[in-house]
Structure 1
Amino acid sequence: MFNNLWDIKAINLDKLHLQEIFDQRNVYAFDENKYFFPSIDALGTEGTILGIDKAVSRINKAIKNNQKICIYGDYDADGTCSTAVLLKTFKALGYENVTHHIPSRLTEGYGLNNDAINKLASNDVKLIITVDCGITSVAEIDLANSLGIDVILTDHHHCPDVLPKAYCIVNPHQDGCPSKFKNFCGAGLAYKLGVSLLNSNNTAVPEEILEIAGIATVADIVELNGENRIIVQLGLELIKKGVNKGVDALLKVAGVKNENVDSRTLGFVIGPRLNSAGRIAHADLALNLLMAEDEEDVKKYASELNQLNAKRQSMGDEIYNDSVKKLDKENLKSNIVISSSKDYHIGILGIAASRLVEKYNKVAIVMAETDKIATGSLRSIEGFSIVDMLDYVKPITLKSGGHEMAGGLSVSLDKLDLLKEKLIEYVDNFYSKNEYCPTKKIDLITSVKNLTLDNFDSISKFEPFGAGNENFTFALTDVKLSYPGYMGSDKTHFSAKIEDTNIRAIRFNAAQELKDVDFSKKMDIAFSLNKNTYNGYTNLQLMIEDMNYSNEKEIHDNDELKSIHDKIIDIEHINQIVDDTISDKNNDLIKKISLNKLKKLKGKTAIYCYYLKELEYIQEIIKLSGLEDIEAFFIPMEKEIESFDNIVFLKNILKLEGSKNIYQVPIKDFDIYQDYSDVRDKMLVMYQAYKTSEIVKLYDILKKYNILTDEFYAINQILNTCKLVDISYPQGYNIAVAKLLKVNNKIDLAKNNTYQAYNKFFKMQRSSNES
């Protein structure tokens, strides 16, 4: 199934604690009214952005002197929306001596370029306002300065060490910026600049520039907290009112009703359609839609964008499928997947790279080759920096840039093979030092009784969801899925019901990844909540995000574990086991017997085990075979032995008083022995794990740290008795909740009875295995 470890933030089976969730999400310490019901007045309370006042002064000077202004944008949705925000701002001011330039992705590439600046100079432009670009354009802005053009640089990307010599820079990330909130998108900055400019001229702020900024904020995947949360919340309300005619038309061709618009609509419906213009045509088409007022024009532009988006999706599928076909033929030992072809369209590379990351759980780069240059788009996995990797290969590349999770580069075709070698070298060297375990954040482990429409409505108040304020991921453990099957015209979408409920669990495009799953077993399921209305009935749906088998065989009831624990911490009993263990070599009293012949023994039979795995295995055999006269135990006790006629040992054999029939199952019949490690080493590992996360899932501990089931329970007992950690098990032994305790004095393990007992017991296991 899936391969994620769970980062569990909370567990509560009784009810949903929304106040606790609010405290976790409210990272900018808004009061509840401002967080859930913001007003336009709430914007701008986090401090002024450095450079805005100087920019407003220069723009007003240009307006007074009727200087020609150019808004220089970018070809993605954010850049297009940023350009629209400022064009509408100047329209509200009644100033018409304004033009714009959005570069072509195919012929110009990202950011400012000399040809465009020379052309603007020849058209008598005296002021350039960049939006969503420019922070790295040192040489280009030097050229503009030499041509008598002032540049107001507005850009939300992180600042390099050397900044361009612009007239002024509006970027919250620059040193000395007093704004508490830094993570605007380009259109968010353009909105802040536009509002300041309009206010300085006592001009009303048009609603649609806030609507457009809200769309870009989600589409550009910036943090949906702080002021961005307010921008998007208020922007959604305006979209529902149909303020911008172009956006309204785009929703209609996409088949979305205004009242149903949410953050997912911005990210997965509007954003991709605006982006499609810059990817495979020209971004001016998207800009035209946002600026249009005529009903026929907006219908025309919306229809064209919808068609382009469908074409983009088809082209993306072709690149992705071709990449997978080639990669699956390779021996994918490296932690990066690389796909390159002359047939790939440069505008679709990032989409394909993102899908490859999702499929392979590896860093991905997809490249389009021309006669002389290869251009690539990179996507990362959590914990790996694209920026650092680009720095490593910078001497080879012609151009590169990006952030932690995504980036782009270009390289001469004659250096493409060298680039691939260096990328593989860097990534594999990184992962030789840093273990990668894909992780799924779980906001809350809950119970089925909490999955109600009322709770869904309460959770929905935390909208808009997106980067930094992701939709809630809940989890159910030890549940069964009934009526599993596949739906859709091509039967690729998985659907099932949570047993004994009407709640349906869904996962799209899951036929391949779930084809070998045994749905008769219990599952641990991570999911987001969705509401589905059909034929007038509204029900909850679970959108499956992660799923694994529950650890049914790893979980023991309290009485059984307590009995095992009591036996182990009895030091004298451990000594007896060690002292009384005899060799089976040349011992005529011991008879060999295979597991399948145990049922032929006469009388009552006891089987004694020294590993929990053995005990689980034998108990399962007894259950499935219906062997009523056979019982399995963990470590023999004298009072237990007395009532049995036959004693069967697995590997270790004890000296026994009296006339008992003693048997041993040969090792070759029972090959599940475990490799026990030093208890103290595993104590340190587990303690560090609890410092990272207070709530851990047994499945993840076994997988990530290679700690065995009995070791897991033993170490928890030791940590408890050492008063290092207070551990509880709210759901059997599948989930452990640990609270670190304050330690005043050094722990002397030599005086800890529990540690000594377990350590001696596991040493006995190791020496037994070695023999």
Structure 2
Amino acid sequence: MTITSSNQIQKQWKISTPPDLDGFADAGTGLPILIRTLLAKRGIVNTESARNYLATPKSLTDPTLMPNISKAVSRLIQACENNEKVGIFGDFDVDGITATTLLTEGLGNLGIQPIPYIPDRFSEGYGPNIEAIKKLADQDVTLLITADCGTSSVNEIDQANRLGMEVIIIDHHSIPTVLPPAYAIVNPKLNGSYGSEPAAVGVAYKVLTVLYQKMKRPYAHIEHQPLVALGTICDLVPLVGENRDFVRMGLEAIRSTNRPGILALAKESNLEVSEITAETLGWIFGPKINAAGRIKHGEIALRLLLTKNEVEAEILALELANLNQQRRHNTEKAIILLSKKINHSDMQKPLIITGDSTISSGIVGLAAAKIAEQFSRPSIVMEIGEHESRGSCRSANGFNIVELLQRHKDLFIKFGGHHGAAGFTINSERITELKNRFFKDANLHFNLNELNSELEIDEYLELNNNHHQTMQWLDLMGPYGIGNKVPVFLSEKIQIVGKSSVGKNKEHLQLKLIHQEQSWDAIHFNSSYHDLKIDEYIDIVFSLEHNNFRGKKKLQLQIKDLKRSNTE
């Protein structure tokens, strides 16, 4: 079933093919047909797998399947026995910060002397660098651990070896053709045997799990599970299998957390810990933690998560909130500037490459993500420097952005990333060459004709007063994200009884809808339909969500697209 939307982007609404539900024949009446259908469309095709999928998670993937984890743990046991100083070099994003927090606490509790190090985004850039490694060597570090970086750092790891350090890489980024000379590389992508794709914080959690088991020491999993959930959600890894369970376990553990940093973030956000959801972690906590590295220094966020002092935590949480406000302002300015640079000829190309000397490297990733979303194609945004420029890449429509960089690795001073996001540093004089090569390459690997073509809908859903129960089932199917998309529904001939434009620039459309004498609140973000009139009828593509307002939880429709109904 295909319907043309009257949206400015002109998407085709397509209800996905009905799945085979024979595997649910023994489910009885307890599992609604709608939920069976949604599960089957997500690869859960029988009653037993549905029962396991919806139940409270009990076990995770065997950590010993992780490549090189046994070798890494043996070296860490040696470090414990010798009371070594261990440097922990983490990335400045949420995944890197949470992974560094886990390793700092987990190793410190075993007698290791951890020395965490978060680089300055502006003066040092992403990943290990020679000067930082020298600083750690000067502090008598004999074992270096990288967290959420290092897989592509051949020269830097070689330098660490020359300075007398052995190196354990804890990472999840794509594997380059040449690996660094590390003592152990613990990366689930190394040989594909692990079976899932955890973020670096998930890899760190598995390393600590095995380490504590081998040393016959009790590991307080519940203290670290909220951080594993936070890093997993914010790094946009697939929320399937173990990653989904990481998040579910972490959200449950948050209910009883005593970690001052989490409590301070909740307080600053006017939330009770009982109200924290996956969306809270991804859209409220995550941006504040990331803002530290984007605007000032990631060490501020690390201090927040490590502190045991409630007063210090509240001060740091407020600082992060202020930095996040500045980050928003800077991002808005950058998007306005870059949007003016994107012209009609750019829209005929398979990817967008843009940049400016005034844009900070702290927000190029955010700008690239916004542009990729707005124009539905891979986007690269650069902070253009006099001698060197830093670029951030975001994918769209399934295009593997890091493979693009790997095919042209000779262009870069350094680069790294994964399927959906990547970054690089390049000599500024080679930017024109980069554009020419990337456009030619993308024309071979990306179909421009498929852009904006379809909006996939799970099922037709009649709006009625039974959907509170439906929402309970949908909650069990979550959390949602990459690999586990939020269910999307179609409903037709819905009457508008109220409307208002909301948001800082009045860019969002808030609607009051009615259908079969049941009223609904709805929100359409970045809407082009502010000219809708009261009493008009519309067809909507939407998802169901909770709206917590002043302590009251109610259902809300988040509209993905809409069109005026055919009332003839």
- Give me the TM-score of the superposition, normalised by structure 2: 0.88
- In the alignment, is residue 546 of structure 1 matched against residue 525 of structure 2? no
In 2, are the aligned partners of 1:211 and 1:244 still within 8 Å (CA)? Answer: no
1:20 Cα deviation from its structure 2 partner:
3.2
Separation in 2 of the partners of 1:272 and 1:363? Answer: 22
How is 1:57-68 mapped onto 2 (pairs within 5 angstroms)?
57-68=74-85
Deviation at 1:441, TM superposition (A): 2.8
CA distance in 1, matches of 2:286, 2:134: 32
Larger Rg: 1
Give the 5 Å matches for 1:719-734.
Answer: none
Q: Work out whether residues 28 and 225 of structure 1, in 8 Å CA contact, stay in contact via their aligned partners in 2.
A: no
Structure 2 portions without partners, runs of 5+? 1-6, 20-31
List aligned pairs for 1:37-48, cutoff 5 A: 37-39=55-57, 41-45=58-62, 48=65
Q: CA deviation at 1:33?
A: 5.4
Name 1:184's counterpart in structure 2: 198
Contact 1:47 1:178 (C-alpha < 8 Å) held by counterparts: no
* 1:495 positional shift: 2.3
Matches within 5 A, 1:90-489: 90-93=107-110, 95-175=111-191, 178-179=193-194, 181-206=195-220, 207-327=222-342, 332-428=347-443, 430=445, 435-449=450-464, 452-487=467-502
Aligned 8 A contact 2:86 2:112 in 1:
no
Shift of residue 28 of structure 1? 11
Tell me how far 1:156 sits from its aligned partner.
Answer: 1.0
| CA distance in structure 2 between the aligned counterparts of 1:381 and 1:62, rounded to whole angstroms | 43
- Rounded to whole Å, the distance in 1 between the matches of 2:98 and 2:550 is 38
Q: Which amino acid aligns with 2:457?
A: I
Q: Secondary structure at the match of 2:362?
A: helix
Cα distance, 1:33–1:297 mapped onto 2, change above 3 Å: farther
Letter matched to residue 238 of structure 2:
E
| Partner-residue secondary structure (3-state), 1:448 | coil
Moved more, 353-362 or 544-553: 544-553
Q: How many angstroms does 1:343 deviate by?
A: 1.0
Is 1:8 matched up with 2:25?
Answer: no
Of 184-193 and 41-50, the range deviating more from structure 2? 41-50
**1:88·1:209 contact (CA, 8 Å) conserved in 2?**
no
Alpha-carbon shift at residue 533 of structure 1 (Å) = 5.7
Sort the Cα spacing of 1:156 and 1:395 in 2 relative to 1 into closer, same or farther, 3 A: closer
- Identity, in percent, stands at 32
Which is bigger in relative contact order (C-alpha 8 A, separation at least 6)?
A: 2
Over residues 234-266 of structure 1, what are the superposed CA-to-partner deviations in whole Å (9 max), with x where a residue is unaligned? 111122223321011011112222111110011
2:26 corresponds in structure 1 to none
Query: How far does residue 543 in structure 1 lie from its aligned partner after superposition?
Result: 0.5
CA distance in 2, matches of 1:459, 1:169: 38
The worse-fitting range, judged by mean Cα deviation, of 17-26 and 531-540 is: 531-540
**Structure 2 CA distance for aligned equivalents of residues 343 and 492 of structure 1:** 26
Alignment correspondent of 2:28: none
Tell me the SS of whatever aligns to 1:109. coil
Q: Which amino acid aligns with 1:35?
A: Y
Inter-partner Cα distance in structure 2 for 1:519 and 1:331: 38
Q: Is the 8 A contact 2:346 2:352 kept in 1?
A: no
- For residues 526 and 499 of structure 2, what CA distance do their matches in structure 1 show? 14
- Aligned twin of 2:100: 83
Give the number of equivalent residue pairs.
545
Residue 66 of structure 1, CA deviation: 2.1
Deviation at 1:68, TM superposition (A): 1.6
Amino acid aligned to 2:209: V
- Cα–Cα, structure 1 residues 158 and 451, in superposed 2: closer, same or farther, change >3 Å? farther
CA distance in 2, matches of 1:411, 1:489: 36
Q: Residues 470-506 of structure 1, C-alpha deviation per residue, up to 9 Å, x if partnerless?
A: 2221121344444344245754321223343301221
* In structure 2, C-alpha distance between the alignment counterparts of 1:426 and 1:166, rounded to whole Å: 32
In structure 2, give the amino acid aligned to 1:439. Answer: E
String of CA shifts for 1:155-175, please: whole Å, max 9, x gaps.
111222322222122112222
Shift of 1:334: 2.8
- Note if contact 2:488-2:542 (Cα within 8 Å) is conserved in structure 1: yes
Report the Cα offset of residue 49 of structure 1: 1.4
- Distance, in Å, in 2 between the alignment partners of 1:413 and 1:72 is 28
Aligned positions of 1:653-664 closer than 5 A: none
User: 2:526 is matched with which residue?
Assistant: 509
